Amino acid sequence: MRELIAKKRDGGVLTREEIERIVRGYVHGEIPDYQVAAWLMACFLRGLNDQETLALTEVMAQSGEQLNLSEVQPPTLDKHSTGGVGDKTSLVVVPLLASAGISIAKMSGRGLGFTGGTVDKLESIPGYRTALSAQQMIEQVKRIGCCLAGQSEQLAPADKKLYALRDATATVESIPLIASSIMSKKLAGGARHLLLDVKVGAGAFMTTLEQAQNLAQTLIAIGKGAGRIVAALLTDMNQPLGHTVGNALEVREAIETLTPSARAHPRFRELCLQLAALGLQLCGLEPSESTAYQRAQHLLDSGAALDKFRQMVKAQGGDPRIVEEPDRLPTAPIVHPLTAPSTGFIQTVHPRQIALATVQLGAGRQKKEDTIDHAVGVEVLKSVGEPVTQGEPILRVHARTEASLQAVLPLLQQAILISPHPVEPPPIVIRKMYE
């Protein structure tokens, strides 16, 4: 191991066998964490080439259980978002694509830090089970076409162990290490097609377009190297996505977006449609961007996607009545509006400040062991570019206690800037990236 650390430290290229020796040795307790930490720092400083990154990804994917989707009706697809504020797209896109005949067994994570987790959002639905075995997931996909569950403990255990070490040794912010972590779980998920949503901006882990583009290119290269068909959207995260940040609030907004007669947030709806259209194209179900987009629109507007969401909730033990009666979702006892201090146009809705306030209210975790309050959160009533008059509500805070409400008000007041001049809203999709 000492020689392998020195080889990487000095800019050498590790073979697949050498990477396998390190990863397996660490997982089985044969190599101490201080040596693996030194190796990770060498990788962080020297980088990994495409072959090393692919090898690391595949070794981590093979370190535990892998979903065998051979019994499932093709095409199979998995979706991944790099995480953002108010990102509830999976709750809409998964049932939407399943209603088109695509099989999706999607495993999602919990929130940590300023970004929310899909599993926490789903658990705000009364009775919804996120802990499913691999076989239960496969059986459900065979029956109704989709499944949204928590990540299995047996899936890519090497990644979990290495990520904890990276977190403790300041080696998280490395594109090859981030990409191999993401893709190890996607490869273990077994799908042939991978749809990626790479967020960029103040409310994302990748704050610059260059970082996001590098990550997307690395993710696509890994997927291609592993024999998968991959595409990515680079999407804007300089303001919260949609009207809501917080678990039950986001589930409610996802249901509104899926409901044909309801008024959805235009930016959020547009992102869901563009992701779904790309998924349809990726799987070869539509020949062009325009026909794929039209089909995605039809599936959303006809109620087919909502019906699939209802089936999924019921199949996983959740109360399907939340679709027609969203008030069955948890609600906070205190709802407090924040009003505009002046007339003008919304210039900034700072996503990270909104997210940090939401975490402080109890909707997210500051430590892994923290418990989530599913009812609390923030409604964002105005988006960038929209006109506003003095005294008009711009945010609505859903809090458990008066003390927690008062604690976040200063942070939320700083999160919104109003310009006296018109402001051009940024596009939600910045770029499409293919193989």
Q: 372-424 pLDDT, tens per residue?
A: 999 999 999 999 999 999 999 999 999 999 999 999 999 999 999 999 999 99
* pTM of this prediction exceeds 0.85: yes
Query: In the predicted model, is pLDDT for residue 160 greater than 80?
Result: yes
Q: Catalytic residues, which ones?
A: 80, 159, 166, 181, 185
Cα of first residue to Cα of last residue in the chain, in angstroms, is 35
pLDDT tens digits, 218-253: 999 999 999 999 999 999 999 999 999 999 999 999
What's the whole-number average pLDDT of the chain?
95
Instruction: Tell me the CATH number for domain 330-419.
Output: 3.90.1170.30
- Top-level CATH class of 69-325? alpha beta
Every domain range in the chain assigned CATH 3.40.1030.10: 69-325
* Mean pLDDT of the region 78-85: 93
Q: Residue 409 burial by CB count (10 A; 0-12/13-18/19+): exposed, middle or buried?
A: middle
Every domain range in the chain assigned CATH 1.20.970.10: 2-47
| Residues constituting the chain | 435
Q: Which residues pair with 295 in a beta bridge?
A: none
Question: Which has the closest alpha carbon to 57: 227, 199, 201?
Answer: 227
Instruction: Tell me the CATH number for domain 2-47.
Output: 1.20.970.10
How many other C-beta atoms can be found within 10 angstroms of the C-beta atom of residue 404? Answer: 18
Every domain range in the chain assigned CATH 3.90.1170.30: 330-419
Q: Is 146 helix (H, G, I), strand (E, B) or coil?
A: strand
